[in-house]
Structures are given as C-alpha cells and as structure tokens.
C-alpha cells in the first residue's frame, strides 16, 4: 500500500499494521492495511480484507463503549479507514487479562507468579479464568518489542501520574467488562485485550482499535468448561493461531530467525479466520469491499472537507 498525500497533512507514520496521517494539529486519518504482524515483526505477505475487518470491528466496538469514556473516532469514510481526533498518547498499553493465556501463561509456566507487579494465584491451568481480571501494562515501543511494566514503575517513570493511572485503570476494567458482555451475547469469551489512551486538553480519550482480533483473544464459550476439565485445547478466535504456527516453525522474532514461507492456502486460511471473527463478534455477514486507491483517497478527502 502506497502512502497518500492529503491537504493540510502535517506528518505520516507507518506502523506495523496501520498508516497514520496527521491532518493539521487536531485530526488523524488511520488506514488499516492488510499487513499482519506477530512478535513485533511484519510478516512478508498481506491478508485479504484484514484491514476492513479490523477497522469495522473497532468502529463497532468504539460505538458500543462511548458511554464509558470518550474516544477518538469521528467517522469511517471507507471500510478500512477511520478519521478521528488527535490525542497526546500515553506511552503504555493497558493489557487486561480475564484468562491465563498467551504471554501470561508462558510467564506462569516458567514458574513465575508475578507479572507487571501483579500476583497470579497458584494452581491455575492454561486458559483458566483469573478470580477477577488483571491489568498487566506494557510500554509502547516505537520500535522493537514492548516491555512489561508495573503500575508503580509507570507512575515513578512519569508515564502517567497517580491520578491519571486511576482513570486509566477504571476505564480499562469497565471497557473489558463491556467487551466481555458483548462477547458473551455472541457465544464468545473475551480472554484478554489491550487498550491505548491519550489526552486532549487534559481529558483522557480511548484511542486506536479495541476488541479486534489483533488486540484481543476470544474463546468459544460453548464447551469451554468441558475442554478445561479434560485439559483439551480451547477453540479460539484471535491472532494467536498465527503466533502458534510461527512458533511451530521455529520463529519468535528473535535475531537470526527466518519467517517461514506463507503459502497461498495459509494466507487464505488466515483471511477466513479474520472474517469468521468479524461475523461472530458483530453478528452480521461480512461484506468484502474492494475499492481502488483512488476511490479511498477521494472518500478521505471528502470526509476531511466536512470536518
């Protein structure tokens, strides 16, 4: 995907998945590409309709949670594009975990019982529910890997004040509770997710995407307890299956490791899994939209003229 140029554009940033354009001082255009990343590495092939899936789930979820806290989103002029208010970001990700899975499980399995200053109870199995959801923040790295960090170190390091942390914590837990409720209605369990926040004139706003397969992990609720009791793998909808495939092929983003070859069949499988998650979470049939780059630019320019 080429970068675009818009009237009053003041900067451009290409992230792992999104291309972000600053318009003047107050607005952002965020284009969700079909790129896919894992272990903080952009994989060599794009995934058809992934950008549309991510953007439309995020827009739906932001609308479903706007009563909890203000968010950055203003409009979606194209299926893979969002326009919203520019915030000054907190350089932390608020990772909320309802279940012992992923990085938390790998930490637990290694024998450690503390993650980001939070104590995890003894006697848990992989995918078990925590007694109550926990927040395990990470630093938001502009390059390379994000790092685990504790609440105490966030405040001590000036990444957020104690008062700001209290608001971030309250918002993150309330958003997660809403996300769990939305998922439950669709027969899913929201196992973990991450939120990013920023500020506009001292007010804290929710930024970026929420409750998407790139930022979250979902389990199927049906037969979840039965699988746990038998020690069977849980059926899940998330990007974790991509990570597991990479691990099985000896890639975890470490120096000297080579990304395994992604076949057409595997790329199509990933695309179908993203579409499946969209349909499961939103409860509607996914309608793929193929716009040319010219049509996308025209839609964005029209939306910007209306701001």
Encode the chain in three state secondary structure. CCCCCCCCEEEEEECCCEEEEEECCCEEEEEECCCCEECCEECCCCCCCHHHHHHHHHHHHHHHCCCCCCECEEEEEECCEEEEECCEECCEEEEEEEECCCHHHHHHHCCCCEECCEECCCCCCCCCEEEEEEECCEECCCCCCCCECCHHHHHHCCCCCHHHHHHHHHHHHHHHHHHHHHHHHCCEEEEEEEEEEEEECCEEEEECCCCCCCCEEEEECCCHHHHHHHCCCCCEEECHHHHHHHHHCCCCCCCCCCCCCCCHHHHHHHHHHHHHHHHHHHCCCCCCCCCCHHHHHHHHHHHHHCC
Whether pTM > 0.85 for this model: the answer is yes
* pLDDT of amino acid 32: 95
**C-alpha span between 26 and 31 (Å, rounded):** 17
**For residue 187, is it left (φ>0), alpha (ψ between -120 and 50) or beta?**
left
**102-110 contact pairs (CB < 8 A, 24+):** 102/192, 102/217, 102/240, 104/136, 104/192
Q: Which string of b and e fits 87-116 if b means at least 16 CB within 10 Å?
A: beebbbbbbbbbbbbbebbebbeeeeeebb
% pLDDT > 70, the chain: 98
* pLDDT of amino acid 150: 97
Mean pLDDT of 23-48: 94
Nearest 5°: the CA angle 180, 31, 28 is 90
**How does residue 142 score in pLDDT terms, banded at 50, 70 and 90?**
low
* pLDDT of amino acid 238: 77
Instruction: Flag whether pLDDT at 305 surpasses 90.
Output: yes
**Over the stretch 151-200, which tens digit does the pLDDT of each residue have?**
999 999 999 999 999 999 999 999 999 999 999 999 999 999 999 999 99
Mean pLDDT of 253-267: 95
* pLDDT of amino acid 143: 59
* pLDDT of amino acid 140: 79
- Average pLDDT of the residues of the chain: 94
**C-alpha span between 55 and 67 (Å, rounded):** 20
**Over the stretch 84-140, which tens digit does the pLDDT of each residue have?**
999 999 999 999 999 999 999 999 999 999 999 999 999 999 999 999 999 999 997
* pLDDT of amino acid 1: 67
* pLDDT of amino acid 141: 67
Mean pLDDT of 4-31: 94
**How crowded is the C-beta side of 272, counted as CA atoms within 13 Å?**
6
**How does residue 213 score in pLDDT terms, banded at 50, 70 and 90?**
confident
**Over the stretch 101-116, which tens digit does the pLDDT of each residue have?**
999 999 999 999 999 9
**Over the stretch 64-80, which tens digit does the pLDDT of each residue have?**
999 999 999 999 999 99
Mean pLDDT of 43-56: 96
* pLDDT of amino acid 146: 78
Domains of the chain listed by start with CATH number: 89-238 (3.30.470.20)
């Amino acid at each position: 995907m080429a970068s675009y140029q818009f009237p009053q554009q003041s900067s451009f940033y290409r992230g792992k998945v999104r291309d972000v354009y600053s318009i003047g001082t107050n607005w952002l255009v965020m284009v969700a590409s079909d790129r896919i990343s894992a272990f903080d590495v952009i994989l060599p092939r794009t995934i058809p309709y992934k950008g549309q899936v991510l953007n439309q789930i995020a827009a739906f979820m932001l609308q479903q949670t706007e009563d909890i806290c203000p968010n950055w989103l203003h409009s979606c002029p194209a299926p893979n594009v969002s326009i919203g208010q520019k915030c000054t970001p907190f350089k932390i990700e608020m990772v909320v975990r309802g279940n012992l899975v992923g990085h938390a499980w790998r930490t637990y399995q290694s024998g450690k019982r503390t993650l980001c200053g939070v104590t995890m109870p003894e006697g848990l199995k992989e995918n078990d529910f925590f007694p109550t959801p926990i927040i395990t923040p990470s630093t938001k790295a502009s390059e390379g890997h994000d790092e685990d960090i504790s609440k105490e170190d966030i405040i001590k390091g000036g990444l957020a004040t104690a008062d700001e942390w209290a608001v971030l914590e309250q918002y993150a837990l309330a958003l997660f509770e809403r996300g769990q409720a939305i998922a439950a209605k669709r027969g899913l369990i929201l196992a973990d997710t991450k939120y990013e926040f920023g500020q506009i004139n001292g007010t804290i706003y929710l930024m970026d995407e929420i409750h998407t397969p790139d930022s979250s992990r979902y389990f199927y609720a049906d037969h979840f307890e039965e699988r746990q009791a038998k020690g069977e793998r849980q059926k899940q909808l998330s990007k974790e299956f991509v990570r597991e495939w990479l691990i099985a092929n000896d890639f975890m983003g470490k120096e000297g490791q080579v990304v395994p070859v992604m076949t057409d069949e595997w790329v199509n499988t990933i695309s179908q899994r993203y579409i499946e998650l969209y349909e499961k979470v939103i409860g509607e049939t996914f309608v793929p939209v193929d716009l040319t780059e010219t049509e996308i630019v025209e839609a964005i320019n029209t939306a910007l003229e209306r701001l």
